[in-house]
Chain A
Amino acid sequence: MSEQNIIEIKGVEKRFGSFVAVSDLNLTLKEGEFFSLLGPSGCGKTTALRIIAGFQDHEEGEVRIDGRTMGEVPANKRPTNMVFQSYAIFPHLNVGDNVGFGLRKTKLSRKEIKERVAEALEMVELGGLQDRKANELSGGQRQRVALARALVMRPKVLLLDEPLSALDKNLREAMQLEMRRLQQKLGITFVMVTHDQYEAMTMSDRIGVMFAGQLKQVDRPEVLYSQPCNREVAAFIGGMNFLNADVTAENADTLDVNVQGFGSMTIGVNPNVQVHDKDLLVGVRPEQLEISAEKPDGYDANVQGKVSDVAFYGESVHYYVRVDGLPESIAVAVPNYFHTVDHNRGDTVWLGVQSASVIDLGKRESLGGEK
């Protein structure tokens, strides 16, 4: 990853009638970065991607790619290529002609095109399949052809619209790693749109989280997970127990808080949070909580509760614990070390938490309610 900016988006807005699909989008991407736009369906992430690609015009703002203002530059003249959600493999052409489609418009000779196509197919591990018909390809192969067809153009930026959503789980996970490897090898900037938080986290250098047309937070996956900027982002990425807290004292980098159910502790100020208030919302990730039959030692806060549900996930066990005075049960995830489920429904258990695991989520909007 270099320090060169490859994409600069400033104040871009897109409306469909009175509906604001993308609102005041500001984003700067570095060359060679793997960036994901993450959000629920209808949040405007695909529209944002199509604005970069040149398929969608926008009312306000500016898009610069590789130092050039895009403005009215149509999609076929932009230094970007796209992998479509449906893959858009040309059904009347074989694999070789699909991959070589865009090269036919360049000054390359037939021989050079052939070589570039062969090279691109090798890269996506489809070497030698040039003559395979489009309708004879499996889902995973179609995805690879779409990837090769875009990469063979050697774009400055590769745009990917939900590239893995059509694949089944195992194939999807294998492709995640493979695409990440490919991106690192080629050093091309990838911009991927996805609604799958795990996909975004495993593949990306940075993630932008979008809700209702607004880019809420842009950060590295670890930061997004440990310091989400608000409740929405915290809930969208991984599981989260939300708790109400009252601020008793504000220090330089810390807050003294009284967390509902858990009592008083001192937690770090989350730098991504915009507004703090006496009425605070805090969060604890399920895997950061300790659960045991006896009161555990060495935790900053403990609370007793009753197991209301147990869910076995294979790699982990999730316990849902009802605590008196809390509106919702607390989720606790325990790694499956010993192939045992230690607590059953109805058991009385102790929960333990370190104050470092309690995440400041800023001003509480409404008591335990939505957003």
Chain B
Amino acid sequence: MTKAFRIPWLLVYAIAYLVFLYLPVLLLPLFSFNDGTIVAFPLKGFTLKWYAQLGQQDTLLQAMVNSLIVGSVTALLATSLGLFAARAYVRYRFTGRELSEGLVMLPLVIPGIIVASSMLVLFISLGLKPSLTTVILGHVFVALPFAVSIMKSAFDDFDQSLEEAAFDLGESVVGTFRRVTLPIVAPGIIASLLVTFTVSFDEFVLAFFLSGNSPTLPVYIWSQIRFPAKLPNTLALGSLLLLSSVLLLLIAEYYRRRSTQSSD
């Protein structure tokens, strides 16, 4: 009897927590379909015009292209570096391994604003003008810890005798890497590419400091917030980004799980 009257506090807490966390995010798509420039309740009516207008805004599209370039290059660089670093960290015991691993992971805990301002100072003193290149350099720095940890878990479950077996069967060192190592860690590589791309695509502070005249999408969106008329467009764009981010992460998670399963 008493059981029926008990309040499930844990459940209440969990729901409250989720609402607090995701309600603001859910407001974004909601207002992106609202037929009015003012972001407030009550809703005016359903429209797709904010989405339709997106295609005609050249600066926005340019910012989108910038972000795609930065994201792809960052993902490729960070994942390649992460692949080799992770293999070394998992396979070999060498002097300075732990120190170097700690240093690679450091960007996770250094405040972005510090990294951004010091990188800006550094690049300018080196004569590098803020551009997409400098953004890419900054983004590789912050994306690397993600790449290294994902690739490390891919190599953790990797039975080293698989590589030895390939070598023993007459394959060369490079051939072994291509025919055995790469295919087995491929799900990890895909997961790392997706995650690092997302990290770069969403990153604001570094891009804000380092992008100069070619803003990435988050920087562009920030600059548009000042114009209330453009706000619904921004919301529409934001909703699309949210959707693609979620999709990318779902795909990345799928591959990450496959990578841990396949090497059992």
B170 touches A92 (CB 8 A): no
For the complex, is B212 an interface residue (Cβ under 8 Å from A)? no
Which residues of chain B have C-beta atoms less than 8 A from A76's C-beta?
A: 167-172
Write out, one digit per residue, whether chain B residues 146-166 have a CB within 8 A of any chain A CB (1) or not (0). Answer: 000000000000010110111
Which residues of chain A have C-beta atoms less than 8 A from B262's C-beta?
A: 91-92, 135
Per the bound structure, the CA–CA distance linking A101 and B176 in Å amounts to: 11
Which residues of chain B have C-beta atoms less than 8 A from A272's C-beta?
A: none
For the complex, is A184 an interface residue (Cβ under 8 Å from B)? no
Q: Tell me how far the C-beta of B171 lies from the nearest C-beta in chain A, rounded to whole angstroms.
A: 6
Which residues of chain B have C-beta atoms less than 8 A from A150's C-beta?
A: 168-169
For the complex, is A84 an interface residue (Cβ under 8 Å from B)? yes
Write out, one digit per residue, whether chain A residues 79-109 have a CB within 8 A of any chain B CB (1) or not (0). Answer: 0111011101011100000000110011000
Write out, one digit per residue, whether chain B residues 77-112 have a CB within 8 A of any chain A CB (1) or not (0). Answer: 000000000000000000000000000000000000
Interface residues of A in 90-138 (CB under 8 A from B): 90-92, 101-102, 105-106, 135
For the complex, is A299 an interface residue (Cβ under 8 Å from B)? no
Q: Tell me how far the C-beta of B226 lies from the nearest C-beta in chain A, rounded to whole angstroms.
A: 52
Q: Tell me how far the C-beta of B154 lies from the nearest C-beta in chain A, rounded to whole angstroms.
A: 13
A90 touches B180 (CB 8 A): yes
Per the bound structure, the CA–CA distance linking A85 and B164 in Å amounts to: 12
Among residues of B, the one whose C-beta sits closest to the C-beta of A54 is B168
Q: Tell me how far the C-beta of A123 lies from the nearest C-beta in chain B, rounded to whole angstroms.
A: 17
Per the bound structure, the CA–CA distance linking A245 and B165 in Å amounts to: 51
A85 touches B161 (CB 8 A): yes
B184 touches A88 (CB 8 A): no
B168 touches A82 (CB 8 A): yes
A88 touches B161 (CB 8 A): yes
For the complex, is A149 an interface residue (Cβ under 8 Å from B)? yes
For the complex, is A75 an interface residue (Cβ under 8 Å from B)? yes
| B169 contact from A55, A85, A153, Cβ within 8 A | A153
A86 touches B263 (CB 8 A): no
Interface-central residue, B168, B172, B263, by most chain A CB under 10 Å: B168
For the complex, is A351 an interface residue (Cβ under 8 Å from B)? no
Q: Tell me how far the C-beta of A140 lies from the nearest C-beta in chain B, rounded to whole angstroms.
A: 18
Tally of contact residues, A, Cβ under 8 A: 24
Q: Tell me how far the C-beta of A66 lies from the nearest C-beta in chain B, rounded to whole angstroms.
A: 16
For the complex, is B228 an interface residue (Cβ under 8 Å from A)? no
Which residues of chain B have C-beta atoms less than 8 A from A101's C-beta?
A: 166, 169, 171, 179
A75 touches B164 (CB 8 A): yes
Q: Tell me how far the C-beta of B124 lies from the nearest C-beta in chain A, rounded to whole angstroms.
A: 47
Which residues of chain A have C-beta atoms less than 8 A from B263's C-beta?
A: 91
Which residues of chain A have C-beta atoms less than 8 A from B179's C-beta?
A: 101
For the complex, is A53 an interface residue (Cβ under 8 Å from B)? yes
Among residues of B, the one whose C-beta sits closest to the C-beta of A146 is B165
Which residues of chain A have C-beta atoms less than 8 A from B159's C-beta?
A: 86, 88
Interface residues of B in 236-264 (CB under 8 A from A): 262-264
A81 touches B169 (CB 8 A): yes
Tally of contact residues, B, Cβ under 8 A: 20
Among residues of B, the one whose C-beta sits closest to the C-beta of A159 is B168
Among residues of A, the one whose C-beta sits closest to the C-beta of B176 is A76
Which residues of chain A have C-beta atoms less than 8 A from B166's C-beta?
A: 90, 101
Write out, one digit per residue, whether chain A residues 53-65 have a CB within 8 A of any chain B CB (1) or not (0). Answer: 1010000000000
Given A85-B161, A90-B162, A75 and B168 contact (CB-CB distance below 8 Å): yes
Among residues of A, the one whose C-beta sits closest to the C-beta of B169 is A102
Which residues of chain A have C-beta atoms less than 8 A from B170's C-beta?
A: 76-77, 102, 105-106, 153
Per the bound structure, the CA–CA distance linking A88 and B160 in Å amounts to: 8
Interface residues of B in 165-207 (CB under 8 A from A): 165-172, 175, 179-180, 183-184
Which residues of chain A have C-beta atoms less than 8 A from B264's C-beta?
A: 135
Which residues of chain B have C-beta atoms less than 8 A from A81's C-beta?
A: 168-169
A105 touches B175 (CB 8 A): yes
Which residues of chain B have C-beta atoms less than 8 A from A55's C-beta?
A: 164, 168
Which residues of chain A have C-beta atoms less than 8 A from B164's C-beta?
A: 55, 75, 82, 84, 88
B171 touches A88 (CB 8 A): no
B165 touches A84 (CB 8 A): yes
Which residues of chain B have C-beta atoms less than 8 A from A82's C-beta?
A: 164-165, 168
Per the bound structure, the CA–CA distance linking A149 and B164 in Å amounts to: 13
Which residues of chain B have C-beta atoms less than 8 A from A75's C-beta?
A: 164, 167-168
Q: Tell me how far the C-beta of A107 lies from the nearest C-beta in chain B, rounded to whole angstroms.
A: 12
| A53 contact from B162, B168, B180, B184, Cβ within 8 A | B168
Write out, one digit per residue, whether chain A residues 271-310 have a CB within 8 A of any chain B CB (1) or not (0). Answer: 0000000000000000000000000000000000000000
| A91 contact from B161, B167, B169, B184, Cβ within 8 A | B184
B184 touches A92 (CB 8 A): yes
Which residues of chain A have C-beta atoms less than 8 A from B167's C-beta?
A: 74-76
Among residues of A, the one whose C-beta sits closest to the C-beta of B179 is A101
Per the bound structure, the CA–CA distance linking A80 and B180 in Å amounts to: 20
Among residues of B, the one whose C-beta sits closest to the C-beta of A82 is B168
Contact surface of B with A, Cβ cutoff 8 Å: 159, 161-162, 164-172, 175, 179-180, 183-184, 262-264
Q: A76-B168, A84-B164, A150-B168 are in contact. List 7 more A-B contacts (CB 8 A).
A: A80-B168, A81-B169, A82-B164, A82-B168, A91-B262, A105-B169, A153-B169
Contact surface of A with B, Cβ cutoff 8 Å: 53, 55, 74-77, 80-82, 84-86, 88, 90-92, 101-102, 105-106, 135, 149-150, 153
Give 4 closest A-B pairs by Cβ, nearest first: A102-B169, A88-B165, A88-B161, A84-B161
Could you jot down 9 A-B contacts, CB within 8 Å?
A: A75-B164, A76-B170, A76-B172, A82-B165, A82-B168, A88-B164, A101-B166, A105-B169, A150-B169
